[in-house]
Amino acid sequence: MTTTLITGASSGLGAEMARQLAARGDDLALCARRQERLTELRAEILAAHPDRRVEVRTLDVLDEDAVFETFRAFRHDLGSLDRVVVNAGLGKGAPLGTGGQAANRETAMTNFVGALTQTEAAMEAFRDQQAGHLVMVSSMSAMRGMPKTMTTYAATKIGAAHLAEGIRNELHGKPLGRTVKVTVLYPGYIASEMNEKVAQKTKMMVPTDVGVRAMVEAIEKQVDSACVPRLPCAPLSVVMKHAPLGVFKKLM
């Protein structure tokens, strides 16, 4: 039985990951800021899978002490944390220098500093257990610097990816590297609460359950990294990284 902790689990990709992982047999530790949403999700999952164990706690990932306390409490209650999915995030933003500094800073703090704290707390557990699976939810926007409202968001997502990749680099060739796995996910346009305002304008948007199924399959395979869904995201990632700027801007 695998015990999976998911942050930002009250809605969107986090909630759907919880549903699909529970269906595959995982026990769950779910946390987010909205207790009511977590309680509803727990009831939904247990109604479908009465044998699962689902623990929920409220958490603001910007509260450093609370992150460590919550992760430790989940581990105590469930016996271990086999997998931690660093998923909590924000999508606010404005072009730099246009008066949107507050939104950009909130996104930067949540998506990078919050991810750093979650990763610290996860690795504390994994080093003590000598085993675990860290899953970092980045974004296809991390492939290249993005314009306008996406600039700060994209920067935070490449930063979060590099946190996880740095851990993999550190552990490579060491005994702990055989028992602690690191996966970075680069989701493309997957319908969620975060992007619902642009969903109608985006031709490549896929339904939440379809996109998350690709994420969950990559997680269970413990791949190093994956652009999900593979089509169109894997080939698109190459174009995003290497296309001339004029071509790239037309794509975006």
Query: Among all residues, which ones are annotated catalytic?
Result: 153
Q: Specify whether the CB–CB gap between 62 and 110 falls below 8 A.
A: yes
Helices and strands counted in the chain (H then E)? 10, 7
Q: How are beta strands 3-7 and 83-86 bridged, if at all? A: parallel
Q: Alpha helices, DSSP H only, in 53-185? A: 64-78, 101-108, 114-129, 151-171, 175-179
Return the residue matching tokens 């794509």.
251
Q: Specify whether the CB–CB gap between 135 and 219 falls below 8 A.
A: yes
Quick one: 235 exposed, middle or buried, by C-beta within 10 A (0-12, 13-18, 19+)?
A: exposed
Cis amide linkage into residue 229, ω under 30° from 0: yes
Furthest C-alpha separation in the chain: 54
CA distances from 16 to 25, 211, 236 (A): 14, 10, 24
